[in-house]
Amino acid sequence: MEQGRPHSAVSRPHTGVPAQATPSARGEHTHDESEYAYAPGARPAPRVPQRYSVRGQVLDALRKALVSGELVPGEVYSGPALGERFGVSATPVREAMQQLALEGAVEVVPNRGFRVTSRTERDHAELAEVRALLEVPALLRVARAVPAARWRELRPLAERTAAVAAEGDRAAYAEADRAFHRALLELTGNRQLVIVAEELHRRSQCPGVVTGGLAAHAAEHLRLLDALEAGDLAGAEALATRHCAGPA
């Protein structure tokens, strides 16, 4: 594949940007007044300019492409080439890529673009260890304080991960998995914990995630809730620690 060109598997996402949208300095787009044609002599209705966070939409699309493997670890992708693929300017793509660089998903290659990070088994093991050190003690502390009914309220989220896992969509599963763990940790009432844990979770999901194991990983969500509802803290601790390693 030619260096700097996007991988052919990357699909052009629907960014919601109208054809005549004009970019702002922050990568956001606002409608041009020329879009709003009306009959001669008619009084135009008041319009509130609609803003589209193109950067945010491109960032979401890139994250999904990373998790699904459409953006290949080790490959270099240029901002203009991805912008052409997405139907936007290179500016929001570069801004989104800078955010992904901060998250460790890509690295900057001067004068060429961004290389998707290749993670080793050791990298994944270290991320799993840090997640377990952060999440498991917090979960056990909550388990000693909340009633069993609270765990039952989380079952729809766990069942959602199982349904998505059955479809084999890794990007959708990554989102559902984070939503479940976020709901667990929100029971601590510690917003900073939730933010830091989710960032670690996202780092562990991409790029270069292993394939397979989604169904088994999703089933652990329900088993974890069973243990928590039954007050089996030892079982919950073992499950949660193993679960942080991700699908295998």
Torsion angle in degrees (nearest 10) through CA of 120, 126, 130, 135:
70
- Angular region, 4: left φ>0, alpha ψ -120 to 50, beta rest: left
Query: Which stretches of the chain score pLDDT less than 70?
Result: 1-52, 206-212, 248
pLDDT for the residue numbered 21 = 38
pLDDT for the residue numbered 49 = 34
Burial label for 189, CB within 10 Å (0-12, 13-18, 19+), is exposed
Tell whether domain 22-116 is in CATH 1.10.357.10: no
pLDDT for the residue numbered 51 = 39
CA distance linking residue 112 with residue 76, whole number of Å: 7
pLDDT for the residue numbered 207 = 56
Kind plus residue range of the DSSP H or E element containing 116: strand 113-116
pLDDT for the residue numbered 36 = 33
Amino acid at 227: A
- Which CATH class for the 121-243 domain? mainly alpha
pLDDT for the residue numbered 121 = 86
Domain 22-116 and domain 121-243, same fold? Reply is no
CA distance linking residue 97 with residue 210, whole number of Å: 22
CA distance linking residue 44 with residue 57, whole number of Å: 31
Burial label for 183, CB within 10 Å (0-12, 13-18, 19+), is middle
pLDDT for the residue numbered 132 = 96
User: pLDDT tens-digit profile of 77-107?
Assistant: 999 999 888 888 999 999 999 999 988 899 9
Domain positions in the chain are 22-116, 121-243
